[in-house]
Amino acid sequence: MSIASTSVIQIIPRTRRGVELFLLLIAVGISVGAYVNIGITAQGGVPASTGLYAAGIGLLALVAHLALRFRAPYADPVILPCAVLLNGLGVAMIHRLDLGLTSVGKTKGVPFAPQQITWTAVGVVLFVAVIIIIRDHRRLQAFTYTLGLVGLVLLVLPLVPGLGVNIHGASIWIRVAGMSFQPGEFAKVCLVIFFAGYLVVKRDVLTLAGRRFLGLDLPRARDLGPILVAWLVSLGVLVFESDLGSSLLFFGLFLFLLYVATERAGWLIIGGLLFAGGAFFAFQTIGHVHKRITDWLDPLAIEGGQIAGGMMGQAWGGILGRGLGQGQPYRTLFSNSDMIISSMAEELGLTGLIAILLVYTLIIERGLRTALGCRDIFGKLIATGLAMSFSLQVFVIVGGVTGLIPLTGLATPFMTLGGTSLVANWAIIALLLRISDQARRPQTPAAPVSDETIAMAVQKQ
Amino acid sequence: MSELTLTLIKLGFLALLWMFVLAVLSVIRSDLFGAKVDSRAAASAAAPSATARTPQPVKPVKKRKGLPGSVTIADGPQAGVGATLVEEPVVIGRGSDCQIRLDDDYSSTRHSRLFLSEGQWWVEDLGSTNGTYLDGQRVTRPVPAEIGGSIRIGRTTLNIAK
């Protein structure tokens, strides 16, 4: 019965670069549309700089597209347009908030939009560099422990006296040559590669040894080492850098990859318990965390609190939003960084917010699909890890802004004002596309079974 | 600027955003709803293969005596790849240590195994994610493999032959 239905599906490998170009045109069109829309509603006419803006974002998208066309022709056609759209919308919203902030006289640092466009250009350059330099992601496996060390160093860099700076209660920034960076964003990429390389080697031990208890496969006590180390490191990040978001991100990432590599639900339960314990400890002892949680439980209690402002903005936006340039999102604190999702929701409404979340979901789905199609376990784990880092980040920040969970200072990928996060995200996208190029590329049909003992190719009669 | 124009611009922009999402979804629809098979191509591909392979019409042959001698992939780009069944067990899956290496996203690394025991060949599932099917029945414990039987693993079909 099942023979006929499954037999004739032959998947013909297609590069699909044309589709990507088409989607890129729409994405750039929407970004320029947003810019023009803001000009019409907030500045009273199509801004003179429209041409410049369109040329800039179009050129960057084209450069990224050409890099893929020549260096990774079989890469996924959907990921790049989604990234360009989110980046373009983010820049448009930051520009809109510049106008708003100027109108209420908060001109410190304004305008932010040109700065964000510069960082986008840096991001695209890094994107192209990753695509060109990393020809095969499996090479990265040789640098497993090096990258693990680099990741750890980047994590603790903000604690180095004289280098790290404490901004808004969290010390996750470093200041070099007058510019501040968030090294944690790059630590994330390094650690994903490290986790993947480590688990490729260790997953058999972690999967096979263990006892069954209450229908659950529990690992041996001595195999608990790595998860305890990951837990302690993320707790250390929390205690010394007061950064709830990154701490949650790193531990969550490790836990997800451990689960994916071993297929053992027992790890999730152990990890969940460790997380609950850590969270409770943090709530009891760390003032910064305690404040975040009380702010979450009662957002109206704080004078001029960002959560309350953001939620009022979202409520005012309603289903269809105020329209771009017609709301007042600039009244919320950090409306162009932490709270940019609430600025979007205020002006585009629930309808627009859902579309944005779907675009994020699409990137994550394509990442997981890449993992599914990838032929080597190392690549699978990296793709899963990168996709999960995206989804965790989006969940934590959108959950925080909409009041589902306590607000933490994670960056909204591609949208938040801030260079490091933007550049790191472009690197992540490049790595995902590199793996998907490997996964979708047609295999050379040769491959007669290598094992000489019994196997031999039998010709079909 | 009239209220109406502003509303139209607002709704137009939202429509544009959703158009992008729908365009992306239409590009990846094969992921969501399965690959679309061109009916003519399917028919022409099915016609010759119906005679070459051993599907339903030939099923009665299944009860033939004798031990199976080979197991071969029946279709797709890997058609013809297979292994002879002699003493040693044959492991099928995506892993590099398998005797039959499948290029199939829906199969597990070590998916299933054929082994000789009590003078008979058996098919056994090695705890795969998507299961092994022998003649459409899910394999939950080792079942005897007979000539003419077909094993389905993920999207791949393998025929057991003499």
pLDDT at B104: 83
pLDDT level of residue B49 (50, 70, 90 thresholds): very low
A348 and B79 within 8 Å at the Cβ level: the answer is no
Residue B139 contacts residue B124 (beta carbons within 8 Å): yes
Cross-chain residue pair A3–B56, CB shorter than 8 Å: yes
pLDDT, average across residues B7-26:
93
For chain B, strand residue ranges (E) read: 70-73, 82-84, 90-93, 100-101, 112-117, 120-125, 132-134, 137-138, 143-144, 150-153, 156-161
- Give me the residues of chain A with pLDDT under 70, please: 1-13, 167-170, 177-178, 209-222, 303-304, 444-461
Which residue bears the tokens 């890890």?
A385
Show contacts of B79-83: CB within 8 Å, 24+ apart.
B79/A460, B80/A457, B80/A458, B80/A459, B80/A460, B81/A448, B81/A449, B81/A457, B81/A458, B82/A457, B82/A458, B82/B158, B83/A449, B83/A454, B83/A455, B83/A456, B83/A458
pLDDT of residue A87: 95
C-beta atoms of B11 and A2 within 8 A: no
Model-level pTM? 0.76
Q: In chain B, which residues have their Cβ closer than 8 Å to the Cβ of A326?
A: 6, 10
Q: What band does B30 get if pLDDT is binned at 50, 70 and 90?
A: low
Contacts of A362 in chain B (CB under 8 A): 21, 24-25, 28
Q: What are phi and psi of A297, to 5 degrees?
A: -70, -35
CA distances from A421 to A40, A116, A412 (A): 30, 11, 9
The full 3-state SS of A108-136, as one line of letters, equals CCCCCHHHHHHHHHHHHHHHHHHHHHCCC
**CA-based nearest distance B156→chain A, Å:** 7
pLDDT at B8: 92
- Identify the pLDDT of residue A406: 87
Closest partner residue to B23 (CB to CB) among A26, A454, A458 is: A26
Q: What is the pLDDT of residue A2?
A: 37
Angle in degrees, CA A53, A58, A60, rounded to 5? 100
Name the helix (H) or strand (E) containing A68: helix A50-71
Task: Name beta bridge partners: B114.
Answer: B90, B123
Rounded to 5°, angle at Cα A115 from A98 and A360: 85
- Chain A residues touching residue B46 (CB < 8 angstroms): 4, 7-8
How near does any CA of chain A get to the CA of B26, in Å? Answer: 11
Question: Within 10 A of A8 (CB to CB), how many other CB atoms are there?
Answer: 17
Q: Phi-psi category of B135—alpha, beta or left, where left has phi over 0 and alpha has psi -120 to 50?
A: left
Question: Which one is predicted more confidently, B62 or A223?
Answer: A223
What ipTM, to 2 d.p.? 0.86
What gap in Å lies between CA A149 and CA A141, rounded to an integer?
Answer: 14
Q: List chain B domain ranges.
A: 1-33, 69-161
Cα–Cα distance measured from residue A360 to residue B24, given in angstroms and rounded to the nearest whole number: 12
> If you measure CA to CA, which chain B residue comes closest to A324?
B10
Please give the backbone phi and psi of residue B114, each rounded to the nearest 5 degrees, phi first: -110, 130
Q: Is the dihedral of CA B137, B142, B146, B152 positive or negative?
A: positive
Q: Which chain B positions have a beta carbon within 8 Å of A26's beta carbon?
A: 19-20, 23
CATH 2.60.200.20 fits B69-161, yes or no: yes
In this complex, which of A85, A355, A456 lies closest to B84 when CB atoms are compared?
A456
- Assigned token pair, B126: 């090695």
> Would you tell me the crossing angle of helices A306-317 and A340-373 to the nearest 10 degrees?
80
Looking at residue A7, its pLDDT comes to 40
Close Cβ partners of A425 (under 8 Å, ≥ 6 residues apart): A83, A123, A185, A413, A414
